[in-house]
Amino acid sequence: MAGQEAYEPPAVWKWNPDSNQAFANINRPTAGAQQQQELPVGKHPLQLYSLGTPNGVKVTVLLEELLAKGHKGAEYDAWLVNIGDGSQFNSGFVAANPNSKIPALMDHSGDTPVRVFESGAILMYLAEKFGEFLPAESAARAECLSWLFWQMGSTPLMGGGFGHFYAYAPVKIEYAIDRYTMEVKRQLDLLDQNLAERQYICGDEYTIADMAIWPWYGAVVRNLVYQAAEFLEAHTFTNVIRWTDEVGEREAVKRGQMVNRPFGDKSKQLLERHDASDFELRTQDILDPDPPEDEKETS
Ligand SMILES: N[C@@H](CCC(=O)N[C@@H](CS)C(=O)NCC(=O)O)C(=O)O
């Protein structure tokens, strides 16, 4: 098969730390802290440790949506966790999330701090805490949680499966790309059929299910991840595109996407968020402006 070298697995797999696997510098086959480093704690009860990837954006969008609805208790400090340098293996982060992946939330509002990890669990925790974006009525709640858990279970096949083998793997393996492309197209078709009938994922109401699904599938159809829109014929999923654009117009969604974002347009990068005014005062174009063209080094 094209791109596939013959490989006979040995009886026992051994880790090769020098392999050419994508992300080999941070991946290892063991869990737990690798270095002592405590987490910073800011002034608000809610402390978020994250990065502006789709899993991180879900949570910052929800927090900004809660604040937009007037929930002052949703004020939060968002600290940047650089997963490229292995900060997710610092002892403080591991105490907040033993799984060593962003996002992780600490809620200091009670007598004992509460840790919450897994983005879906964080969405549910905050939605329940503030009584928003998760319907209270049993059937509507079941529908919302079904789509939330659908995202948590399905997206790894898109990200870890399709995205990894299509965009990141150092060899293009037809078998793997075929397998995961089939699944991703099926997932997009499912969303498209659902959104043909409904304004939002669960019906007329915008919920945490939209917030969970949008950063992933919206990014794919708008070609913001994996550069695969043409390959997947993303333009055919017209209902997903309609919903993607509609959700993307929300002010809280625009703000949530800026938080803990160390890449892209500097005016949209808010590396840390400690106050609502940070969106106006502390973006990277202000904190770290590019030198004027005529002062740039020429070599
Ligand atoms: N199921 C987890 C997945 C989180 C996740 O995969 N986070 C990635 C960034 S999007 C990460 O922290 N990766 C670092 C690593 O794998 O070491 C969730 O939804 O919270």
C-alpha torsion sign, points 232, 238, 257, 66: negative
The first and second tokens of residue 101, run together, are 């992946």
Q: Is 97 in the pocket of ligand 1 (CB under 6 A)?
A: no
Structural domain count of the chain: 1
Closest C-alpha to 209, from 136, 291, 120? 120
What's the confidence (pLDDT) of residue 7? 86
**Which domain covers residue 94, as residue numbers?**
46-130
pLDDT (tens, 9 = 90+) of the chain, 299 residues, equals 444 568 899 999 999 888 877 777 788 899 999 999 999 999 999 999 999 999 999 999 999 999 999 999 999 999 999 999 999 999 999 999 999 999 999 999 999 999 999 999 999 999 999 999 999 999 999 999 999 999 999 999 999 999 999 999 999 999 999 999 999 999 999 999 999 999 999 999 999 999 999 999 999 999 999 999 999 999 999 999 999 999 999 999 999 999 999 999 999 999 999 999 999 999 999 999 998 887 766 54
CATH number, domain containing residue 79: 3.40.30.10
Q: Is 50 in the pocket of ligand 1 (CB under 6 A)?
A: no
Q: Is residue 59 part of a domain?
A: yes
What's the confidence (pLDDT) of residue 297? 61
Q: Is residue 100 part of a domain?
A: yes
Q: 160 C-alpha vs ligand 1 centroid, how far in Å?
A: 10
| Distance in angstroms (rounded) separating the CA atoms of residues 81 and 36 | 15
The first and second tokens of residue 236, run together, are 């055919």
Q: At what angle are helices 174-197 and 238-248 packed, to 10 degrees?
A: 70
What's the confidence (pLDDT) of residue 299? 45
CB atoms near residue 213 (< 10 Å): 28
Positions of E strands within 72-143: 76-80, 104-107, 114-117
Q: Is residue 23 part of a domain?
A: no
Q: Is residue 97 part of a domain?
A: yes
Which residue of 48, 79, 102 sits with most ligand 1 atoms within 8 Å of its CB, as the best mutation to test the pocket? 102
DSSP readout, 26-37? T--S--S-SB--
Q: Is residue 287 part of a domain?
A: no
